[in-house]
Amino acid sequence: MLIGIDIGLTMIKVAVFSLGGKKIALEEKRSSIVYSEDGFVEKDMEELWKALSSLIKETLYKHDISVTEIKGIGLSAYGDGVITLDKDKNIIGLGITSIDTRSKHTWGSLLSKSQHQELFKIIRQKPFLGTPLPILHWIYTHDKQRWEKTEFVIFAKDYIRYKLTGEIFLEITDASAGLINLNTRTRDLSIEETLSINHLTEKIPDVVTSDQVVGEVNKEAETDTGFKEGTPVVAGLHDVASTVIGSGCINHSDTLIILGTWGITVMSSNSPQDHAEGDWMLRCLPKNNRWLMLQASPSAGSNIDWFVKTLKQINTDNNNIHKVLNTLIKDTLPGAKGLRYLPYLHGQKFSNQTLNALFYGITFEHELKHFYRAILEGILVDRIKVLAQFEKSIDSSPSMLTIQGGGSKNNTWMQMFADATNKTIRVLQSSQAGVRGAAILAGVGVGLFNSIGEGVEIIKDKEIFYNPNIQNFEEYKEIQESYQELINSLV
C-alpha cells in the first residue's frame, strides 16, 4: 500500500492506495487559519501536526490498515509562505501562509527597479506577497529577533516531513518559488546579495527532488501517527504540482484548470517559460526537468459564493440555491442575452488601473438565470485569457483541457468551457488529485513505479469528457471580443 497526505490551507487529507491503484481509504479534516494583525495570515504548525497525526491514526484504525504493508508515504502541501526554525529545530512563531500580505507596504518600495530586474533574471518570476522572498525581506527588516534566531527556512510540507522523520530538506517544487536559481535549479548567493538579506543562503536547507526518499518514520512519529518505524518517506511536492501529477497532466502543453474559490490555470512545458510582466509564476515539475506555468486568481468561485450568499438573504423556502441556479441556466444561450460580468471581486490590475467586479448591459429582459450565466461566462473568459497567454508562450495548443475543483461538477459550465475553447474537456470524477499525486510520487520514490508516467497510469481516476459544439464556439469568439472591448473601455 501507498499513503498520500495532502495539507491544504483549510483541509488535511489522508488517502491509502493499493499497489494496483485502488483507493482503499480517504479521510479528511478541517484545519484552522490564524488571522491577527493587518495582513497576517498564519497557521499553528504544532496544532496542524496534532490534527494530522490524529487523522492518520483514525484512518489506519477505521479502515483496518496493516502498517507493515505500507511501502511508502508521499506528501503534498500548500506552497509558498514561510516557516522558520531555530538551531534546535523548534518552530519560531507561527507558520506564515501564502495568503499573508504583511509585506504589502514594504516589498517593492524598498527595492529599486534594477534590483527587481536582476532578481527576475535569477528566479524567472515576479514574487507576489505570499511567496518566500517578500516575507523573508519583511522579517529581515521588521523582526530582527526572529531573523537572528532562524536557522532553517522551510515550507509546510517540509515541517510535516521533519515531524515524521527528523530530517530537514527543501524540495524542488516549493524551492522554485524564489529560493533557488531557476536557471540552475540550485541555491544561489546572488539572491541574497540582490535583496541585501544577509545570511539568507545559509538558512536554506539542501534541495532534493520530489520523489527522493529522504528519511524514514522515526520512533516518535510512530507513537504520534501509528505508522511503522522505518517506513520510507519521500520528499513530496507543492500541492498544485501534486494535483497536476494526480490529474495526469504531465506532458508538454498538458493543461489543468482548477475551479475552486480561486481559479488556477497550470500548463506543463518542456522549457522554463517566464513572463516579464509577472503575469504568471514558474515552478519546477518533477518529471524529466519539466516546468509549470501557473497563474492563480481569486476571480473564480468566489464570485459564485458571493452571488449565492446574496441570494440566500432573500430566499425563504430553503431551496438548494446552487441546484436551482444550475437548473435555470440549462435553457439559456451563450452570451446571457448581452449581459456581461467582470469577475474581479478582489480587484484586477490592467495596466496601471485596478478594475472591480461589475455587471454591464442590464436591461428589462434579463432574469436571474442570465445573471448567473454571465457570472459563469465572465470566469470562463478570464481563464481562457490566461490559457491563450500560455499557448502563445510555448507555441502550442492542447486539444484537451483537464478541469478540477468544485466548478467541475457543474455539467453546463463544463460544456460551456468545451464550446468556448473548442477543446475536449476532461473531468475527473473525484477531487482527490492532490493525495493521488503524493501517493504516485511515493511509489516512484520507493521503486514500485519506474516513472511518474507509469504511476499515473496505475493510480488513476474515472473520467468524464465534454466535446465542443463548433456553432457555439463561433459565438463565444464574439463574446470574448466583447469582454475585451468592455475592459478596454474601462482602462
Last residue of a domain, one of 205, 235, 265: 235
Tally of domains within the chain: 2
Q: Which domain covers residue 108, as residue numbers?
A: 2-235
How many other C-beta atoms are found inside a 10 Å radius of the C-beta of residue 462? 8
Output the pLDDT for position 48.
96
What is d(CA 337, CA 329) in angstroms, rounded to the nearest whole number?
Answer: 12
When pLDDT is averaged across residues 75-82 and rounded to a whole number, the result is 92
pLDDT, one tens digit per residue, over 258-279 is 888 778 899 998 888 877 666 7
Percent of residues, the chain, with pLDDT higher than 90? 57
Output the pLDDT for position 61.
95
C-alpha dihedral sign at 329, 334, 338, 344: positive
CATH of the domain at 325: 3.30.420.40
Any idea which of 107-116, 236-245, 338-347, 365-374 has the lowest mean pLDDT? 107-116
Any idea which of 110-114, 141-145, 169-173, 242-246 has the lowest mean pLDDT? 110-114
Residues 227 and 272 in one domain: no
What is d(CA 421, CA 286) in angstroms, rounded to the nearest whole number?
Answer: 28
Residues 119 and 214 in one domain: yes
When pLDDT is averaged across residues 169-179 and rounded to a whole number, the result is 93
Residues 186 and 300 in one domain: no
What is d(CA 225, CA 340) in angstroms, rounded to the nearest whole number?
Answer: 51
Residues 390 and 472 in one domain: yes
Among residues 410, 387, 255, 232, the alpha carbon closest in space to that of 323 is found at 410
What is d(CA 246, CA 403) in angstroms, rounded to the nearest whole number?
Answer: 12
Task: Pinpoint the alpha helices (H) of 227-320.
Answer: 239-246, 301-312
Last residue of a domain, one of 235, 265, 282: 235
407 pLDDT band (50/70/90 cuts)? confident
Residues 330 and 287 in one domain: yes
When pLDDT is averaged across residues 461-487 and rounded to a whole number, the result is 92
pLDDT, one tens digit per residue, over 84-96 is 999 999 999 999 9
Helix (H, G, I), strand (E, B) or coil at 348: strand
Q: Where are the beta strands (DSSP E) in 72-134?
A: 72-77, 83-85, 95-96
111 pLDDT band (50/70/90 cuts)? confident
Classify residue 172 as exposed, middle or buried by CB count within 10 Å of its CB (0-12, 13-18, 19+). Answer: buried
Output the pLDDT for position 185.
86
Any domain includes 199: yes
pLDDT of residue 461 exceeding 60? yes
Residues 315 and 219 in one domain: no
2 pLDDT band (50/70/90 cuts)? very high
Which stretch of DSSP H or E encloses residue 145?
A: helix 144-149
| Angle in degrees, CA 411, 415, 421, rounded to 5 | 145
Q: Which residue has the higher pLDDT, 70 or 284?
A: 70
Any idea which of 116-120, 301-305, 378-382, 470-474 has the lowest mean pLDDT? 301-305
Residues 220 and 260 in one domain: no
Classify residue 415 as exposed, middle or buried by CB count within 10 Å of its CB (0-12, 13-18, 19+). Answer: middle
Residues 174 and 296 in one domain: no
Any domain includes 241: no
* Cα-based distances in Å from 13 to 2, 31, 134: 14, 10, 29
Assess contact for 272 and 232: CB atoms under 8 A: no
What is d(CA 219, CA 88) in angstroms, rounded to the nearest whole number?
Answer: 18
Any idea which of 52-66, 93-107, 146-160, 319-333 has the lowest mean pLDDT? 319-333
What is d(CA 265, CA 258) in angstroms, rounded to the nearest whole number?
Answer: 6
Encoded amino acid at 289, one letter: N
Average pLDDT, the chain: 90
DSSP state for residue 459 in the 8-state scheme: S
Residue 419: alpha-carbon gap to chain centroid: 26
pLDDT, one tens digit per residue, over 374-404 is 999 999 999 999 999 899 888 888 999 999 8
Output the pLDDT for position 298.
74
313 pLDDT band (50/70/90 cuts)? low
Which stretch of DSSP H or E encloses residue 421?
A: helix 411-421
Q: Name 477's Cβ contacts closer than 8 Å, sequence gap at least 6.
A: none
Residues 229 and 264 in one domain: no
* Cα-based distances in Å from 10 to 48, 97, 157, 161, 218: 10, 11, 14, 19, 27
Any domain includes 406: yes
Residues 144 and 256 in one domain: no
Residues 221 and 91 in one domain: yes
pLDDT of residue 318 exceeding 70? no
Instruction: Using DSSP bridges, classify how beta strands 340-342 and 358-360 pair: parallel, antiparallel or unpaired.
Output: antiparallel
Any domain includes 242: no
The crossing angle, in degrees rounded to 10, of helices 321-328 and 301-312 is 110
When pLDDT is averaged across residues 23-32 and rounded to a whole number, the result is 92
Which stretch of DSSP H or E encloses residue 51?
A: helix 45-62
| Rg of the chain (C-alpha set) | 23
Output the pLDDT for position 383.
93
When pLDDT is averaged across residues 48-54 and rounded to a whole number, the result is 96
Residues 359 and 409 in one domain: yes
* Cα-based distances in Å from 439 to 77, 218, 421, 445: 13, 20, 32, 10
Output the pLDDT for position 319.
60
Q: Which residue has the cell 490524529?
A: 54
Any idea which of 26-35, 61-70, 310-319 has the lowest mean pLDDT? 310-319
When pLDDT is averaged across residues 190-200 and rounded to a whole number, the result is 90
Last residue of a domain, one of 235, 261, 290: 235
Residue 308: alpha-carbon gap to chain centroid: 24
What is d(CA 97, CA 83) in angstroms, rounded to the nearest whole number?
Answer: 8
